[in-house]
């Protein structure tokens, strides 16, 4: 540094100016010499490298339930544990509590259905959801009772019917008959819609009566369910703009057809495609 300082003292102004720019040029040149797409980390440089890609091995198609459910009767301790889980079906631990009931399996259903009469609507709804996860057909009667309960909120009643239909459709006919006459139009619509999954002749006259419903969307759901269940070819009607009087007349058409067919009528195969209308 001292030699350089002495050297600079003997330079002219022009030489010093050229010397300074030379240093700047050298620094820039060194910087450009680095790989432009490298990334600095600390004092060194990291250069990205293409790693050979190998696709992950194809997994086997395992069932959704890798751990089989418990089928043994619950012990006294497990029953006590299940009863303690019921209040936890509402709140931050509700999903954990539902998982615990699934772990206990269908033998926990007698305890689980007690939640259908508990105060919190969230608990009652989650009880139904847990029953659906368990696929516990033994809970169908309790679900039907919940769906028929007039003092229950619509959301819980509709969910109870939906799950009951999928677990044991034949037992859900009673609930559909009751809900089809409910004062709440959303309850009636749920009954009309879910009836299409109940392949029982007894739901057909219930749906025919619903065609004359005051609410057009209830009547439309009912006739769509009738088409799906019966495959009956009807005359074209403008259901979207229909009045109650129109639908009463169309109810008569359906009743005349059903009275002539009910003794020999058989439900068609649900796997067959529904004809577009």
246's CB contacts (< 8 A; 6+ apart) are: 237
pLDDT digits (tens, 9 = 90+) for 14-30: 666 566 656 655 555 55
Please, what is the Cα angle at 78 between 91 and 83, to 5 degrees? 40
Residue 102 has pLDDT above 70, yes or no: yes
The rounded distance, in Å, linking the Cα atoms of 138 and 106 is 8
For residue 58, the model assigns a pLDDT of: 75
Q: What's the pLDDT tens digit per position in 204-225?
A: 999 999 988 888 889 889 989 9
SS3 46: strand
């Amino acid at each position: 540094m001292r030699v350089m300082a002495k050297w600079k003292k003997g330079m002219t102004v022009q030489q010093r100016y050229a010397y300074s720019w030379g240093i700047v040029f050298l620094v820039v040149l060194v910087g450009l010499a680095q790989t432009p797409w490298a990334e600095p980390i600390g004092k060194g440089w990291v250069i990205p490298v293409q790693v050979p890609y190998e696709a992950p091995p194809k997994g086997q198609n395992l069932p959704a339930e890798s751990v089989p459910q418990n089928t043994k009767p619950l012990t006294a301790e497990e029953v006590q544990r299940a009863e303690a889980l019921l209040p936890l079906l509402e709140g931050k631990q509700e999903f954990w509590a539902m998982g615990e009931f699934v772990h206990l399996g269908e033998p926990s259903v007698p305890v689980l259905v007690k939640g259908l009469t508990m105060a919190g609507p969230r608990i009652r709804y989650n009880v139904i959801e847990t029953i659906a996860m368990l696929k516990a057909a033994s809970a169908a009667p309790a679900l039907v009772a919940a769906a028929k309960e007039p003092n229950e909120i619509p959301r819980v009643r509709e969910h109870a019917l939906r799950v009951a239909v999928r677990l044991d459709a034949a037992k859900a006919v009673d609930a559909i008959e009751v809900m089809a006459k409910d004062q709440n139009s959303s309850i009636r619509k749920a009954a009309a819609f879910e009836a299409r999954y109940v392949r029982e002749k007894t739901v057909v006259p219930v749906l025919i009566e619903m065609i004359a419903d005051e609410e057009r969307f209830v009547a439309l759901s009912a006739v769509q369910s009738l088409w799906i269940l019966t495959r009956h070819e009807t005359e074209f009607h403008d259901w979207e703009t229909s009045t109650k009087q129109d639908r009463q007349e169309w109810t008569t058409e359906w009743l005349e057809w059903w009275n002539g067919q009910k003794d020999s009528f058989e439900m068609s195969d649900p796997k067959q495609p529904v004809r577009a209308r």
